[in-house]
Amino acid sequence: MVSLQSLRVELIKYADQPFDVASRMTISDAKSVLDSDAFENWKKSRDNQTAIQLAIVSRLDALIKRS
């Protein structure tokens, strides 16, 4: 079973929910938000942005090491 504290932290960290809002949310509501298609799409988008940034930094690092 997922703990309420764990769900609360995920809501604060990933869904930009203030602590008081996350604290008032029930486990079923929190799970429905975190298990939603919209949240999955947001995570994929964020992962893609991170991958692009990592590729840019890696390329710059390679260029700097060459010179």
pLDDT in tens, the chain (67 residues): 568 788 888 888 887 888 888 888 888 888 898 899 999 999 999 999 999 999 999 999 999 999 7
pLDDT of residue 65: 94
pLDDT of residue 23: 86
The CB density around residue 55, as the number of other CB atoms within 10 Å, is 10
pLDDT of residue 53: 97
| Tokens 């486990």 found at | 27
pLDDT of residue 15: 78
User: What sections of 1-67 are H helices per DSSP?
Assistant: 4-14, 19-24, 27-34, 37-66
